[in-house]
Chains A and B, each alone.
Chain A
Amino acid sequence: AQSVTQPDIHITVSEGASLELRCNYSYGATPYLFWYVQSPGQGLQLLLKYFSGDTLVQGIKGFEAEFKRSQSSFNLRKPSVHWSDAAEYFCAVGGSGGYQKVTFGTGTKLQVIP
């Protein structure tokens, strides 16, 4: 069974500082990996996804993530955090084929301080 672990429940960073959110996955084959952001009271927005190819994936809002098969990780990074980045971030893993049944991690809540 596929699973996702986000070890950090809550992270606080200063505005302008760099950010890395950790994500480890378990999947029997080549995974489809996603990062989503959810602002308070809002739905999910896709930040980026990895299906194949270059293991460093660029997303929206200046985010990037690196797929490391050897570590079963897909950490999300941003070089300089903005106050508007405060939200909850979900890592997710899905399978290939006709069904995109996605399993979500428990989320990491990001707080940005001035």
Chain B
Amino acid sequence: GAVVSQHPSRVICKSGTSVKIECRSLDFQATTMFWYRQFPKQSLMLMATSNEGSKATYEQGVEKDKFLINHASLTLSTLTVTSAHPEDSSFYICSPYGRGETQYFGPGTRLLVL
């Protein structure tokens, strides 16, 4: 299966700082990238969808100015949590999708904002 990496796997930051999460599809070209988050004991919720070279589309209730998504290449997408607050603490998962039928998921990044 395809290999998807996320970096960092865990991050702890102070409230008010920004955190960047990288997602790489290592052996296929991701024309579309989905970003999910998962709060403790809850399911994954889609945050936004981005196509390579285009602006991301955000789900209702997700602040686009707070969660900046860059999908500049077919193998790399980044999610930046700006001015993070404790309520942003969550498990962030990227999901690249390319031509084909299977959607792959990254291993996730656990963010803790103090």
Chain A residues within CB distance 8 Å of chain B:
32, 34, 36, 41-44, 46, 49, 51, 90, 94, 98-107
Contact = CB atoms under 8 A, between A and B. Distances in A.
Interface string B77-114: 00000000000000001010100011101111010000
A101 B46 contact: yes
B43 A94 contact: no
Contacts of B97: 99-100
* Residue among A32, A42, A43 with max Cβ neighbours from chain B (10 Å): A43
A46 B44 contact: no
B43 A44 contact: no
Interface string B12-48: 0000000000000000000110100000001111100
21 contacts: A32-B101, A43-B93, A43-B105, A43-B106, A43-B107, A44-B93, A46-B105, A49-B101, A49-B102, A94-B103, A98-B32, A99-B49, A100-B32, A100-B97, A100-B101, A102-B34, A102-B46, A104-B45, A105-B43, A107-B42, A107-B43
